[in-house]
Amino acid sequence: MLVTAYALAVLLNLFVIFIGARFLLVPRPSAAGYGVPAKPDGDAAYLTVKGVRDLTFGLLGLALLAFAGLRAEAWFMLVVAFVPLADTLIVLRNGGTKATAFGIHFATAVVVLLAAALLFLV
């Protein structure tokens, strides 16, 4: 179970780094994939904030794994599960589809909570 918990935590953190980098490098397609497309004439700040936020969370998660241990990572995962839960509501309140809100963001929250639970168990 240790290997599974650790691997899942690493993969989730790397995935969040990828999402953050994607928002910084190709913001408009990333926003569409998020479920709330950016306006053609604006939203640069939203796109940059989203990219920096995700990149930072992913890097912090990896730093916790490397330097603070599994228990710290478990608490981190438990707390940051709020982000995809909030993203679910953001998508729903801003014209996104239920499929995107629940299929991407809510499902991500469930996986992050599962990862946290596994980390607490080891």
State the total domains in the chain: 1
User: What is the tens place of the pLDDT at every residue in 88-100?
Assistant: 999 999 999 999 9
Find the domain containing 9 and state its range: 2-121
The whole model's pTM is what?
A: 0.93
User: What is the tens place of the pLDDT at every residue in 64-77?
Assistant: 999 999 999 999 99
Q: What percent of the chain has pLDDT over 70?
A: 100
pLDDT score recorded for residue 46: 83
Q: Output the DSSP codes for 43-73.
A: -HHHHHHHHHHHHHHHHHHHHHHHHT-HHHH
CA atoms within 13 A on the CB side of 49: 5
- For residues 21 and 42, the model is more confident at 21
**3-26 mean pLDDT:** 97
